[in-house]
């Protein structure tokens, strides 16, 4: 372990596509989504705790989730929990954490990861993460881990890279592109030089702060101007003020796309069983299934039913289903949702309608 290696885990999202299980008061990263005895954020913390000192792991989350986080990861120092008063996307989140880490470790190398991703090959991940941190510690580059695509998925952003310019396992990024239409995704897959954007970024703290200063100077100034208040009783008040004024912008749009055009971003093609677990459908892929393709968590009896996702929270409730094929059935006690898997993109619309018609009670 290198003392200057740090991790930022972003854990402020609501995960609305996992409604009704994921709620604004208890989002998906704090749930045991896969029914394996560990929540997603616990799995993420443990993944890094394998090779990064836990005192070097920082978590950025919403103020409302402080107690949840401390309950699930009690060993994390309280000063490493960065509380956002309001969500402002990933750029302010990363700027805040990097500015705070810079105060105590100006030579830090930082790995930024989401709190709700699944990685099944932990050994493979550790190997490539270590390579990325080694490269970033010695070069003024931003490194990202790009996932080798297995299908033309329209739910991910893509990274095009120069595959003939191997610098020792990492390659220059040519282009970041947003979620494509299906035919475009098929062409990306066929070309062989596109990777899924995993949202994992690695850089030295000095490199990323220089990028903020160049491309998001207002944000750089806002978080660096309050540096003297980090690790003090006044930090929360200062952050409240900064977030009131801060822009809502992603790190991809605010920094990565611009830095990529300047030749400062490199990608490591990766294959370690990654999924962003963004939807019930992606969760279904990683659940145990019966011989008819049903993935069941909870007490359920199925007749003439196949290819369903069934999740029942109450162990004292029995669900009986007959004649369903390709459905998502989620019972949380106060909400029952039944939706075709192929229509799961409608869940965000369900959430919006429930919020407006039920005074926010069930979201």
Q: What is the pLDDT of residues 105-129, one digit of tens each?
A: 999 999 999 999 999 999 999 999 9
Residue 154's pLDDT is 83
**CATH of 5-275 among 3.40.50.150, 3.90.550.10, 3.90.1560.10, 3.30.9.10:** 3.90.550.10
Pairing mode of beta strands 118-119, 274-275? antiparallel
- Cα–Cα–Cα angle for 25, 19, 200, rounded to 5 degrees: 80
List Cα–Cα distances, 60 to 89, 92, 106, 114, in angstroms: 11, 10, 19, 10
By DSSP bridging, strand 118-119 and strand 142-147 are unpaired
Q: Are 203 and 251 in contact (CB under 8 A)?
A: no
Render pLDDT for 151-163 as a digit per residue (tens, 0 to 9): 888 888 999 999 9
CB-neighbour burial class of residue 125 (10 A; exposed 0-12, middle 13-18, buried 19+): buried
- Mean pLDDT for the stretch of residues 166-195: 91
Over the stretch 300-325, which tens digit does the pLDDT of each residue have? 999 999 999 999 999 899 999 999 99
Computed over every residue of the chain, the mean pLDDT equals 94
Residue 7 CA: distances (Å) to CA of 29, 46, 56, 123, 204: 17, 12, 6, 17, 11
Is 305:294 a contact under the CB 8 Å cutoff?
yes
Q: What is the CA radius of gyration of the chain?
A: 21
C-alpha–C-alpha distance, residues 289 and 306, integer Å? 10
- Average pLDDT, integer, range 13-38: 91
Q: Alpha-carbon distance 348 to 150, whole Å?
A: 26
Tens of pLDDT, residue by residue over 73-92, are 999 999 999 999 999 999 99
- Work out the end-to-end distance of the chain between its first and last CA atoms, rounded to an integer number of angstroms: 42
Structural domain spans, the chain: 5-275, 288-357
How many Cα atoms within 13 Å fall on the side-chain side of residue 255? 31
The sign of the dihedral angle between the CA atoms of 225, 200, 28, 280 is positive
Q: How far apart are CA 326 and CA 294, in angstroms?
A: 9
How large is the greatest C-alpha to C-alpha distance in the chain, in angstroms?
65
Contacts of 129 (CB under 8 A, 6+ apart): 51, 111, 145, 202
- pLDDT the model gives residue 14: 87
pLDDT digits (tens, 9 = 90+) for 267-282: 999 999 999 888 898 8
Q: For position 33, what pLDDT does the model report?
A: 87
Residue 328 pLDDT: 97
Q: What is the mean pLDDT of residues 288-306?
A: 96
Contacts of 61 (CB under 8 A, 6+ apart): 11, 12, 69, 81, 82, 83, 84, 115
pLDDT of residue 1: 59
Q: What is the pTM of this model?
A: 0.94
Alpha helices in 77-178 (DSSP H): 90-104, 122-138
Q: Which residues contact 24 (CB under 8 A, 6 or more apart)?
A: 14, 64, 360, 363
pLDDT beyond 80 at 2: no
């Amino acid at each position: 372990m290198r003392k200057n290696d740090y991790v930022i885990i972003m854990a402020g999202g609501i995960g609305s596509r996992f409604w009704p299980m994921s709620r604004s008061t208890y989002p998906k990263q704090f749930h045991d989504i896969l029914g394996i005895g560990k929540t997603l954020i616990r799995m993420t913390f443990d993944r890094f705790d394998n090779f990064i000192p836990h005192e070097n792991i920082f978590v950025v989350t919403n103020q409302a989730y402080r107690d949840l986080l401390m309950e699930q990861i009690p060993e994390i120092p309280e000063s490493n929990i960065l509380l956002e008063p309001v969500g402002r996307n990933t750029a302010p989140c990363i700027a805040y954490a990097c500015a705070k880490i810079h105060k105590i470790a100006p030579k830090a190398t930082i790995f930024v990861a989401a709190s709700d991703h699944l990685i099944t090959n932990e050994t493979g991940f550790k190997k490539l993460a270590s390579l990325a941190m080694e490269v970033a510690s010695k070069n003024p580059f931003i490194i990202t881990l790009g996932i080798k695509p297995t299908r033309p998925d329209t739910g991910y952003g893509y990274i095009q890279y120069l595959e003939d310019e191997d610098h020792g396992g990492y390659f220059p990024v040519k282009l970041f592109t947003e979620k494509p239409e299906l035919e475009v995704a098929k062409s990306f897959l066929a070309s062989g030089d596109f990777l899924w954007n995993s949202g994992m970024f690695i850089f030295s703290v000095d490199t990323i702060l220089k990028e903020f200063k160049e491309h998001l100077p207002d944000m750089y100034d806002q978080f660096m101007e309050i540096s003297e208040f980090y690790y003090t009783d006044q930090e929360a008040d200062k952050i409240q003020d900064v977030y009131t004024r801060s822009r809502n912008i992603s790190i991809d749009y605010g920094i990565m796309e611009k830095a990529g055009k300047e030749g400062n971003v490199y990608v490591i093609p990766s294959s370690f069983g990654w999924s962003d677990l963004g939807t019930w459908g992606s969760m279904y892929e990683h659940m145990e299934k019966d011989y008819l393709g049903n993935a069941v968590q909870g007490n359920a009896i199925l007749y003439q039913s196949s290819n369903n996702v069934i999740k029942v929270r109450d162990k004292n409730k029995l669900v009986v289903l007959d004649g369903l094929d390709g459905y998502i059935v989620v019972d949380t006690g106060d909400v029952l949702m039944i939706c075709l898997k192929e229509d799961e993109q409608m869940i965000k619309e369900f959430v919006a309608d429930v919020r407006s018609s039920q005074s926010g009670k069930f979201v």
